């Protein structure tokens, strides 16, 4: 049937069961339903071979872009309230405020995540990374190159360092620190107490208090108190009245003060003269005097 003039329907239109329905009372058109909820209500897929233009686009379900061919979305402001999957996105500023976003590849000048970001795979940073707030790592962190720290580093738990680490500021470790290799210190080393099985010192070392199973010193060492064994105590006092060494004597009164017997296999001298000759001469003089 051909109609050569305008076809006007005053009281709505219904084609088939729900193929096309026009609600003239509410000015709504429906496809796939007889109860339209908006001006155009389509219950099914929409196919267009040209550009689709809209002043505001809102997607409350799952949106897939780029399934066939290359799809480009250009928007001044894109608001996603549900779940969004991005294959590749270029943005000057990307703000994720609510919901959950999965990004496979993202290139942006500024990325702001206000509700937290979870990285389930590896995170590779090729350039410098600046963390303005606290950085919490609950799992293992691997660094293939050197780590340069310009400020203080506070470590609350164990710190395992397998490679080279450079700390420009203070390093505070409240827990244990394990070093699988050598520890090289170019400056001074100050410590409260050291427990060691073997200590090898080739240069000059000043010890306030040290406990060691074996201490090997090939250079010069200054100690305030040196305990040798369990029963013998050797005390070296620097200063007033003089340098003194005590054996079994915590408070030596002479340069060498021995609390106990002394056994000398060589010659004992006083002022460079053998003590035996001095004692022999005094014995002869005493015998003459006694008659």
Query: What tens digit of pLDDT does each residue of 102-115 get?
Result: 776 777 777 777 77
Q: What is the pLDDT of residues 147-201, one digit of tens each?
A: 777 777 777 777 777 667 777 777 777 777 777 777 777 777 777 777 777 777 7
CA dist list (Å): 115 to 98, 100, 149, 197, 215: 7, 9, 28, 51, 56
231-274 per-position pLDDT tens digit? 555 666 555 666 777 787 777 788 888 888 888 888 888 777 78
Which residues, 6+ apart, have CB-to-CB distance to 277 below 8 Å?
A: none
State the DSSP code for 285: H
- Residues of the chain with pLDDT > 70: what percent? 72
User: Is 227 inside a domain boundary?
Assistant: no
- Give 127's DSSP letter: S
User: Of 21 and 67, which is predicted with more confidence?
Assistant: 21
Question: 76 or 71: which carries more pLDDT confidence?
Answer: 76
Cβ–Cβ contacts within 10 Å for residue 280, how many? 11
Is 22 among the domain residues? yes
Whole-number pLDDT of residue 241: 62
Establish if 124 belongs to a structural domain: no
Which residues span the domain enclosing 18?
Answer: 11-44
- Residue 286 or 169, more confident: 169
The region of weakest confidence among 59-73, 94-108, 169-183, 272-286 is 59-73
Q: Is residue 36 a part of any domain in this protein?
A: yes
Q: Which value, to the nearest 10 degrees, does the dihedral of the CA atoms of residues 177, 181, 185, 191 take?
A: 40
In a domain, 29, yes or no: yes
Terminal-to-terminal C-alpha distance of the chain: 171
Other beta carbons within 10 angstroms of residue 249's beta carbon come to 19
pLDDT recorded at residue 53: 81
- Out of 118-122, 184-188, 220-224, 260-264, give the one with best mean pLDDT: 260-264
Mean predicted confidence (pLDDT) in 125-142 = 75
CA distance 233 to 17: 109
Residue 110's pLDDT is what? 73
Q: Is residue 191 part of a domain?
A: no
Which tokens sit at 7?
């076809």
Return the higher-pLDDT residue of 20 and 147: 20
Name the most confidently modeled range: 11-15, 43-47, 125-129, 135-139.
43-47
pLDDT at 12 over 80: yes
pLDDT band, very low/low/confident/very high, at 33 (cuts 50, 70, 90): very high
pLDDT of 206: 74
30 is a domain residue: yes
Confidence grade of residue 142 (pLDDT, cut at 50, 70, 90): confident
Pair 255, 245: CB distance under 8 Å: yes
Domains: count for the chain = 1
């Amino acid at each position: 049937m051909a109609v050569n003039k305008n076809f006007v329907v005053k009281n709505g239109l219904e084609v088939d069961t729900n193929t096309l329905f026009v609600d003239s009372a509410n000015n709504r058109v429906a496809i796939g339903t007889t109860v339209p909820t908006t001006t155009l209500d389509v219950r099914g897929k929409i196919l267009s071979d040209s550009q689709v233009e809209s002043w505001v686009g809102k997607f409350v379900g799952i949106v897939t872009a780029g399934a066939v061919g290359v799809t480009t979305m250009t928007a001044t402001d894109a608001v996603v309230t549900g779940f969004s999957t991005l294959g590749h996105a270029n943005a000057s500023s990307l703000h994720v405020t609510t919901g959950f976003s999965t990004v496979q590849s993202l290139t942006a000048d500024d990325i702001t995540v206000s509700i937290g970001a979870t990285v389930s795979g590896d995170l590779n940073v090729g350039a410098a990374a600046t963390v303005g707030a606290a950085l919490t790592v609950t799992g293992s962190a691997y660094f293939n190159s050197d780590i340069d720290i310009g400020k203080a580093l506070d470590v609350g738990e164990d710190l395992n360092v397998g490679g080279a680490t450079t700390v420009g500021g203070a390093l505070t470790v409240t827990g244990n620190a394990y070093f699988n290799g050598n520890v090289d210190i170019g400056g001074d080393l100050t410590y409260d107490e050291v427990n060691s099985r073997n200590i090898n010192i080739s240069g000059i070392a000043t010890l306030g208090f040290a406990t060691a199973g074996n201490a090997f010193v090939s250079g010069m060492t200054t100690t305030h108190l040196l305990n040798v064994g369990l029963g013998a105590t050797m005390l070296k006092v620097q200063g007033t009245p003089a340098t003194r060494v005590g054996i079994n004597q915590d408070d030596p009164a002479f340069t060498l003060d021995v609390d106990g017997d002394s056994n000398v296999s060589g010659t004992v001298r006083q002022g460079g003269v053998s003590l035996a000759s001095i004692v022999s001469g005094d014995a002869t003089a005493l015998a003459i005097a006694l008659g």
